[in-house]
Amino acid sequence: MSAEADVVRRPSGPDSEPTPRKRVRLNEQLRTTGQVGVMIAPTTLWLFFLLVLPLIMMTLLSFRSGSFTAEDSAFTLSNYQRFLQDASFQRLMLRSLWVALLVALYSVVLAYPLAYYLAFRAKRRQNLLLTLLIIPAWTSFLLRVLAWRIILGSDGMLNSLLLLLGLTQETLPILLYSPTAVIVTLVYIWIPFAALPIYVNLQRIDLGLLEGAADLGATPIQAFMRITLPLSMPGIIAALLFVFIPTVGEYVTPALVGGPSGQLIGNIIWDQFARALNWPMGSVLSLMMLVLVLLPLLLTSRLVRLSGLLEG
């Protein structure tokens, strides 16, 4: 890939004069800028009608007292007040952020060696092994979480195994229906996905740098710490965000394996829309969650701009 970067055509002759070439390129640029519209139009339309507009409607809904009847449409801040006054909503929100962060960290830490192996050691079998990692993701997410419920249950596999090995005297029901179960299950789901951005990033590292380091006397560990790891930072950050953000709003896993202490804000939001039919309150909670998720995003984009990931 880096081979292309080195291809800089320098034709000889009159074309090599900078001025005529620049003029040609500028004309090209102006013409193609006109065509930018065509390139981004479909996506823009899609984003506007099926993303921006619905979100605006949802924001409007957050200021109503009810969802369906005419008298519900009066403007009110009561839902926002309820959120600000209810400490349990706020604590649950923070706990969800914390759980999501843990899941992201564990997933990335566990996925990094996988990505490393794929990028540097797997040679020609890279893509095959990568797809091997991805295939589990094609099974229903629901069924996989159910499978974990079986594993973690008190007559489940894990317990039977521990009993068999004599590590525990009696079954441990605490494995299931706890925040731990939620984290374990989510990490399991996310590891393959966390490996992807890291792998893509590692792949683009110029091996010449590592060889150069070796030539200069660096040990493999030094080379890793001083070269590979820093260069893979964009991928790591991308992987963290990739896992963190959807996990904040996760509700299926907590509902199935979380128990009373493992519920997350996503469950409450889901309840508002699907059970309690309190759409305005659900809209408020969703908006608050979006705001809280955007903050770390803005922070990290200052530290490592998204373009950094692109320029490798």
Partner 1 sequence: MKKLSPTAYLFPIVMVAAVLTGCSAGAGDATGATEPLLVLEWTGYQMTEFPQFFQPFTDKYGDNLDQVIEYSFFGDDAEALTKMQTGFEADLVHPCNSWWQLYVNAGLLQPIDTSRLEYWDGIPDELKQLGQFNGEQYIVPWDWGYDSLLVRADLVPEMPDSWADLWDPQYARHIAIWDSAEQGYVITALALGLDPWNTTPEEDEMIKQKLLDLKPNVLTYWLDFTEVYNLSSSGDAWIVANAWQDAYGYLLDEGYDVEYLDPAEGRLSWVCGYGINANSTNLDLAYEFLNAAIAPESMAALGNEYLYGFSNFDAIPLVDENVAKLLNFTDLDTFFANTVFYQPLTEEKRQAMSDIWTEVKAAQ
Partner 2 sequence: MQEKQRLLTPGAIYFWATVLFLYLPILLLVLFSLNDSVLLAFPLKGLTLHWYQELLEAGEMLQAAQNSLVVGVISSLIATAIGTMAAIAVTRLNFPGRDVFLSIAAVPMITPSIVLGVALLILFRQTINLPLSLGLITLSHVVISIPTTMLIVMARLAGFSKNLEEAAMDLGANYWVTLWRVILPLSLPALIAAFLTAFTASFDEYAMTTLITGTDVTLPVYLYSLLRFPRRLPVALSMGSVIIVASAILIVVAEWLRRVDFRGGAKEETA
- Binding-site member from 40, 41, 277, 295 for partner 1 (CB under 8 A): 277
CA atoms within 13 A on the CB side of 17: 5
User: Does residue number 106 form part of the binding site for partner 1 (CB under 8 A)?
Assistant: no
Does position 66 interact with partner 2 (CB under 8 A)? The reply is no
Of 12, 43, 88, 169, the one binding partner 2 (CB under 8 A) is 43
Which residues 15-34 are close enough to bind partner 1 by CB under 8 A? none
Percent helix / strand / coil, the chain, rounded to 5: 80, 0, 20
Closest CB to partner 1 among residues 98, 225: 98
Please select the residue that binds partner 1; options are 126, 129, 224, 259, rule is CB under 8 A: 259
Q: Which is nearer to partner 1, 185 or 278 (CB)?
A: 278
Give which of 132, 282, 264 is closest to 195, Cα–Cα.
132
Query: Is residue 88 at the binding interface for partner 1, with CB under 8 A as the rule?
Result: yes
- Tell me the C-alpha distance between 33 and 30, whole Å: 5
The 3-state DSSP class for residue 162 equals helix
Determine, following the binding rule CB under 8 A, whether residue 303 of this chain makes contact with partner 2. Answer: no
Q: Judged by CB under 8 A, does residue 181 bind partner 2?
A: no
Stretch that binds partner 2, among 80-88, 101-109, 126-134, 168-176 (CB under 8 A): 126-134
Can you tell me which of 12, 33, 88, 169 binds partner 2, judged by CB under 8 A?
33
Q: Is 1 helix (H, G, I), strand (E, B) or coil?
A: coil
Choose the binding region for partner 1 from 151-159, 193-201, 214-222, 287-295 (rule: CB under 8 A). Answer: 151-159
Interacting residues of 235 by C-beta distance below 8 A, sequence separation 6+: 115, 197, 198, 199, 200, 201, 202, 309
Helices (H), strands (E): how many in the chain? 17, 0
> Which range in 87-95, 110-118, 165-173, 224-232 contacts partner 2 by CB under 8 A?
110-118
Output the DSSP codes for 52-109: IHHHHHHHHHTTSS-SSSGGGGS---HHHHHHHH-HHHHHHHHHHHHHHHHHHHHHHH
Shortest Cβ 281–partner 1 spacing (Å): 8
Residue 229 within binding range of partner 2, rule CB under 8 A: no
Question: How many residues contact partner 2, by CB under 8 A?
Answer: 109
Candidate segments 114-122, 149-157, 196-204, 232-240, binder of partner 1 by CB under 8 A: 149-157
Determine how many CB atoms are found less than 10 A away from the CB of residue 285.
26
Question: Do 292 and 91 form a contact (C-beta atoms < 8 A)?
Answer: no
**260 is a contact residue toward partner 1 (CB under 8 A):** yes
Measured CA to CA, the distance from residue 307 to residue 312 in angstroms comes to 8
**Alpha-carbon span 293 to 114, nearest angstrom:** 27
CB closer to partner 2 out of 46 and 174: 46
Q: Report the interface residues with partner 1, using CB under 8 A.
A: 67-69, 86, 88-89, 91-92, 95, 149, 153-156, 173, 176-177, 255-256, 258-261, 263, 267-268, 271-278
